[in-house]
Structure formats: structure tokens, C-alpha cells
Amino acid sequence: MKNLSIYVDGGSRGNPGPSGIGVVILDSKGKKVKEFKKYIGISTNNVAEYNAVIYGLQEALIEKAESVTLYMDSELVVQQLNGDYRVKSNELKPLFEQALHLMSGFKKIEITHIPREKNSEADKLVNKAINLGGLL
């Protein structure tokens, strides 16, 4: 079974403000399979976090992963995706539903909250995306 670890982060400067996402995908041996960043325009931190999850899961499906461990430093999004917290925001509901739909494409999925310092690579990609987005 192909297993991938995905580190995702999303952020905004201003909340709402210029926003970006960063995704780092590792294979089962810890070797980097792919990384990417994307400027997503003006949004909130939580919208950016969900966009990062969606892009990460889409990439894992493209890579034909059957099992995924998703790591992120947004406790809110982790708790929502794990079913511990309800999604009350009308802005987040469609993103939450899209993430759940993508999650159903895997035989096994685990969503884990990690401290920000353990997500530094994805965080750096977010900042690069926002910096580049400001140049557009």
C-alpha cells in the first residue's frame, strides 16, 4: 500500500489579507516526493489552511496514494476534519466538505496536529507564495 506523509500550511497576512499555501509530500521512507506553494489571493488564515489541505489531498490522489498521514499546525482544522469540532463558518463549510470528499478517496487517512516548529518547511513555502503573490 502506497503511504504518503503530507505537511500542509496556509496563512494570511492581515487575516483577511494576502494568503498562500505550502505543501510538502514525503514517501514512506521520508524522501520528498513533491513540494509546492501557491498564492491564493485575499483570504483568512482558516480558508488558506483548508486550501492547503485540499491541494495536498489532491496531489496525494494524483500520486495514487492509498494511505495518507496529513500533518498540520492548525488545531481548529485538524479538530474539524477529525469530527471533534463542528464547522460553523459558512465560508469554511464548502472547503470542509471538499476536503471530506477527497479524504474518502483513501483506504486510510490520519490527520495529526503538530507544533508550528515541526511544520517549518510548509510554512516557508507559504511565506514565499505570499511574497511572490504581492509581485503579481
pLDDT confidence tier of residue 1, bands split at 50, 70 and 90: confident
pLDDT tens per residue across span 67-89: 999 999 999 999 999 999 999 99
Cis omega (within 30 of 0) on the bond before 16? yes
Is the full-model pTM beyond 0.85? yes
Residue 114 lies in a domain: yes
Q: Pick the residue with more confidence: 133 or 97?
A: 97
CATH of the domain at 127: 3.30.420.10
Q: What confidence tier does 133 reach under pLDDT thresholds 50, 70, 90? A: confident
The residue among 52, 113, 50 whose CA lies nearest residue 84 is 113
Q: What pLDDT, in 10s, does the model give residues 7-61?
A: 999 999 999 999 999 999 999 999 999 999 999 999 999 999 999 999 999 999 9
Question: Domain containing 80: what range?
Answer: 3-63+73-133
Confidence category of residue 91, pLDDT binned at 50, 70, 90: very high
Residue 91 covered by a domain: yes
The CA distance from 135 to 76, in Å, is: 31
Does any domain span residue 68? Answer: no
Residue 118 belongs to a domain: yes
Number of domains the chain contains: 1
Q: Is residue 110 part of a domain?
A: yes
In this predicted structure, what is the pLDDT of residue 113?
98
Residue 83 belongs to some domain of the structure: yes
Is residue 131 very low, low, confident or very high in pLDDT (cuts 50, 70, 90)?
very high
Q: Is residue 134 scored above 80 in pLDDT? A: no
Between helices 45-62 and 93-103, what is the axis angle to 10°? 20
Would you state the pLDDT for residue 136? 56
Indicate whether 105 belongs to any domain. Answer: yes
Query: Is residue 57 one of the residues assigned to a domain?
Result: yes
Helix (H) or strand (E) holding 71: strand 67-72
